[in-house]
Chain A
Amino acid sequence: ADKPTLAFVVNGASDFWKAAEAGVKKAQGEMPDYQMELKYPEQASVAVQQRLMEDLVSAGVKGVMVSAVDPKTQTDGLNKIGSQTALFTTDSDAPQTNRVAYIGSSNVDAGLQAAEIAKKAMPDGGKCIGFVGLLGADNAKERIQGMKDGLKGTRIELTDVRGDDIDQTRAKKNVEDALVASPDVTCMVGFYSYNTPRIYEALRDAGKLGQITVVGFDDDPITLGGVKEGTIAATVVQQPFEWAYQGMKLMAAYLKGDKSGVPGNGLIIIPTVIIGKDDVDKYAASLKAMSGK
Chain B
Amino acid sequence: MNHSSDIPSPDALATPFLSLAGVGKTYPGVVALEGLSIDIMPGEVIGLVGENGAGKSTLMKILGGVIAPDRGTILLDGAELRFLTVESSIGSGIAFVHQELNLFENLDVAANIFLGREPLKAGPFKLVDRDRLRDMVKPLLKRVGAHFSADTPVASLSLAEQQMVEIAKALSINARLVIFDEPTSSLPMAETERLLSIIKSLKADGISVIFISHRLHEVERVADRVVVLRDGTLVGTLAKKDIGHDQMVKLMIGRVLAARTAKPQRSPGSVALKASGVRTEAYPGRPVDLEIRYGEIMGLAGLVGSGRTELARVLFGIDRSYGGAILQDGRQIAVRSARDAVARGIFLVPEDRKRNGILLDFPIAQNITLADLPKLSSRFMLSAERERAAAETQRLRLGIKAPSVSTRTGTLSGGNQQKVVLAKWLSMSPRVMIFDEPTRGIDIGAKNEIYSLMRALADAGVAILMISSDMEEVIGVSDRIAVMHEGQIAGILEEDEISQESVLLLAVGKRVK
Direct contact of A and B (CB under 8 A): no
Interface set of A (CB-CB < 8 Å, partner B): none
Interface set of B (CB-CB < 8 Å, partner A): none
